[in-house]
Amino acid sequence: MAELPEISKLAGQMRDTLCGKTIEAITIVQEKCSNIPPDEFQKRVASARIKDVRNKGKWIITSLDNGENILLSLGMGADILYFDSENNQADKYQVKVVFTDGSGYTSRFWWFGKFLLAADDELETEPNTKDIAMDPFDERFTLDYFVSLLKGKRTQIKAFLMDQKNIGGIGNMYMHDILFKARLHPRKKISDMNGDEIRLLYNSITDILNLSREKGTFAYESDFFGQKGGYTMDYFLVGYKEKQPCPVCGEKIVSIKTGSTTSFICPACQKA
């Protein structure tokens, strides 16, 4: 599943490739992935130019020069693929955007993908994106900021980090190794964490996400040009490595239930 490294890479590629292009047509095959009917969507974006593309947590926001914004969520997985001409477009898609120069992109969602439209003055109240917090790739995401986020909180650390209202962009996939590297049990209460543990966790979040970014992001996700990333399963420390030895102490890695998610941990390095 795409998380912050994959989404920010995709948003960057879309920004570099699409800014300045003018929308000619939008085809929405699967109406339920949008918040307005396809013909209204088409009317509101036709002839508008792409002004900016950026990510907010795991959402990609494309701003147009007519005051409209396309909000894209990959849901449980999706291929968002550029084409230089419609001859080279992907066969299957739920949404297709075509520009006046003949290029465009298709969105194929595996599950729960969203393709929404919101005017500039609706963005602040848009229910899907309004509460998404700053993500760890933001330069304002400093240790001091992280410490202030955790201050006075009593919840379990994994649930806190997964909540997009606290930190944008982190999902279950990178979480296993983030907590392992910080030697924290997923159910550890924030109120029981000391300053060293918080600093270690901050470094772990930025280290793991940055390493994926440096390696070209997760190997099973396609980028805007259909290329896979270089962050293969070999880079995972304990995530999805049940029964394999812990890379630090050799103890067998186990999977445990943590609320609605599964967590892979080393029971020796991450004491409850």
Residues near Zn ion, by CB under 5 A = 246, 248-249, 251, 266, 268-269
Q: How far is the CB of 271 from Zn ion (least distance, A)?
A: 10
Q: Distance of CA 141 to CAs 20, 78, 147, 176, Å? A: 30, 28, 10, 21
Smallest distance from Zn ion to CB 270, Å: 8
Comparison of 78 and 269: residue with beta carbon closer to Zn ion: 269
CB closer to Zn ion, 133 vs 248: 248
Smallest separation (angstroms) from Zn ion to the CB of 216: 28
Least distance (Å) between residue 72 CB and Zn ion: 39
Nearer to Zn ion (CB atom), residue 65 or residue 251: 251
Q: Tokens 């070209």 map to which residue?
A: 216
How near is the Cβ of 240 to Zn ion at its closest, in Å? Answer: 16
CB of 269 to Zn ion, least distance (A): 3
Q: Please say which residue, 119 or 249, places its beta carbon nearer to Zn ion.
A: 249
Nearer to Zn ion, 165 or 252 (CB): 252
Q: Whose CB is nearest to Zn ion? A: 246
User: 132: Cβ–Cβ under 8 A, 6 or more apart, which residues?
Assistant: 56, 57, 59, 164, 165, 168
- Of the two residues 74 and 265, which places its CB atom closer to Zn ion in the complex? 265
Distance of CA 254 to the CA centre of its chain: 26
